[in-house]
Amino acid sequence: MNTRFYNAKILTMEEPIKIIEGELWVGGSAILYVGDGTDKERVYEKNGNQPIIWDEEIDCRGNLLMPGFKDAHTHSAMTLLRSYADDMPLQDWLNKQVFPVEAKLESEDIYHLTKLAVLEYLTSGITGVMEMYLEPRAIQEAFTECGMRNAQVSGINKFGPSLEELENRYLSLNGQNELSSFMLGFHAEYTCSKELLQDIAAMAHKYKAPVFTHNAETALEVEECKERYGVTPTVLFDRLGIYDFGGGGYHCVHMCDDDFEVFKKRNLIAVTNPASNLKLASGIAPISRYLQEGIPVAIGTDGPASNNCLDMFREMFLVTGLAKYRDGDASSTNALEVLKMATVNGAKAMGWKDCETLAEGSKADLIMIDLHQPNMQPLHNIPKNIVYAGSKQNVKLTMINGKILYENGNFHIGTDPEEIYEKCNAISKRLQLEA
């Protein structure tokens, strides 16, 4: 498909961040041109002066094109537990509600529940997700069928899978298609033995691969780790060699000076999940310190059982709003930095160098923001409008890999949304879930 967007405002997210007015061309899965239109002849010259036959030309009517948001931590199939396991402390929430239900889930259940999440991602302008959940093959199938870009991360723990299966997944699920990848990771320190952590470190060294995990989400988690090993989870992982090839942590709320030094030394990425941490009363991540220390931050929604929606607009506002409150400083954590976290840094976390910005040769993962709505007016500062005033209602179009998957309230993922809703409600009924 060749698609021409014209009469657009374009926020490429390239430095320095600015908005241009012009056109963006898509050929297949990549961006062919982005600019004000005065230099587009060179695209034709590069193409041997052959005309481009447009399959679709879209008048943006002054609306904004920008890179899609990257959800850097989620558990998609936890859509099943939305508004089911609520108003409980984290450990009770996990052990008494979440883990018992997850033990009953079948592979086909996770496939359908993941598709439900995809619908929600698309309405929020999310074009790629960093997924950690059960049954990665079923998850990859669901994402691929829907056209959603994804990087899955292993959630191995003392309950499974085996190390052999983890390695098999790493080798077999990478390279399946251009939308999917699989990364090394584990659930958390408190669900893994020291021997298992050592084995994960060995695998990271074998493949020279980055590793991601839940890290320092609660004060209790950190204190219990210190009781077991005398150090924080971050320092423990570093001493074991888990972070020798990079990676990062999800949540990273309760961090000490030594933890920040490890993150800087290993060039790790902190993935903040403000809505989930707020709802579970886990704390507020020290975002401004990450920025001061030069540690990149990405944003995740976490699973829809703990936040309870997959909405990047809400996450962005909470990142900056909670940072200002934590610091007692209204100038803390600028909105432009937050927008970078939700786009560029999320792509970096997932290893997607060609999805960071809207540039020629980059993947055509983009969204259109409706500026002709009252919450976007007046147009004093569009990037800040998106962070402080934006909402899912402003997402007019979501394109992934050159394909329009969501436009003006309609989905183009190959499945009727009503069929997905019916399947997911049937799963809930079968498992006899009651709020």
Give the confidence band of 91 by pLDDT, cuts at 50, 70, 90: confident
Question: What distance in Å separates the CA atoms of residue 92 and residue 33, rounded to the nearest whole number?
Answer: 52
Task: Mark 250-285 as b/e (b = at least 16 C-beta within 10 Å).
Answer: bbbbbbeeebbebbeebebbbbbbbbbbebbebbbb
- pLDDT exceeds cutoff 90 at 92: no
| pLDDT score of 93 | 80
Nearest to 343 by CA among 134, 65, 143: 65
Predicted TM-score (pTM) of the model is 0.97
3-state secondary structure of 380: coil
Q: Is the pLDDT of residue 404 over 60?
A: yes
Mean pLDDT of the 362-372 span: 98
In tens, the pLDDT along 287-334 reads 999 999 999 999 999 999 999 999 999 999 999 999 999 999 999 999
Token representation of residue 120 = 């929600």
Which helix or strand (DSSP H or E) is residue 108 part of?
helix 107-123
**pLDDT at res. 372:** 98
**Helix residue spans in 148-211 (DSSP H):** 163-173, 194-207
Quick: pLDDT tens for 186-207: 999 999 999 999 999 999 999 9
pLDDT of 72 over the 70 cut: yes
Look up residue 345 and give its amino acid.
Answer: N
pLDDT, average across residues 110-122: 98
Contact, 300 vs 271, CB < 8 A?
yes
Q: What is the pLDDT of residues 35-60, one digit of tens each?
A: 998 888 888 777 776 788 999 999 99
On whether the CB atoms of residues 340 and 334 are closer than 8 A, the answer is: no
Q: Please tell me the predicted confidence (pLDDT) of residue 221.
A: 96
- Strand order across the beta sheet in which 297-299 lies: 69-74, 126-131, 149-153, 180-186, 211-215, 247-251, 269-272, 297-299
* Long-range contacts, stretch 205-210, CB < 8 angstroms, 24+ apart: 205/241, 205/244, 205/245, 207/170, 208/245, 209/170, 209/183, 209/184, 209/245, 210/183, 210/184, 210/245, 210/246, 210/247, 210/248, 210/351
Cβ proximity of 340 and 386 under 8 Å:
no
Read off the pLDDT of each residue in 86-102 and give the average, rounded to a whole number.
84
pLDDT tens sequence across 253-299: 999 999 999 999 999 999 999 999 999 999 999 999 999 999 999 99
* Residue 99, pLDDT score: 86
Task: Kindly report the average pLDDT of the chain as a whole number.
Answer: 96
Angle formed by the axes of helices 136-146 and 107-123, nearest 10°: 40
Using pLDDT thresholds of 50, 70 and 90, give the confidence band for residue 8: very high
CA contacts within 13 A on the Cβ side of 218? 14
DSSP letter string, 16-68: SP-EEEEEEEEETTEEEEEESSTTTHHHHHHTTTPPP--SEEEE-TTPEEEEP
Residue 350 — very low, low, confident or very high, per pLDDT cuts 50/70/90?
very high
Q: Provide the pLDDT for residue 435.
A: 55
Mean pLDDT of all residues in 355-370: 98
Residue 434: pLDDT band (50, 70, 90) is low
Q: Residue 117 pLDDT more than 60? A: yes
Percent of all residues in the chain with a pLDDT value above 90, rounded to a whole number: 91
CA quadruple 261, 235, 304, 78: dihedral positive or negative? Answer: positive
All structural domains of the chain: 2-67+362-411 (2.30.40.10), 69-353 (3.20.20.140)
The string of pLDDT tens digits covering residues 222-244 is 999 999 999 999 999 999 999 99
Question: Do the Cβ atoms of 399 and 54 come closer than 8 Å?
Answer: no
Is residue 215 a contact partner of residue 251, using CB atoms and an 8 Å limit?
yes
Of 6-10, 99-103, 206-210, the range with the lowest mean pLDDT is: 99-103
- The arithmetic mean of pLDDT across residues 172-181, rounded, is 97
- Between CA 68 and CA 128 the distance in angstroms is 8
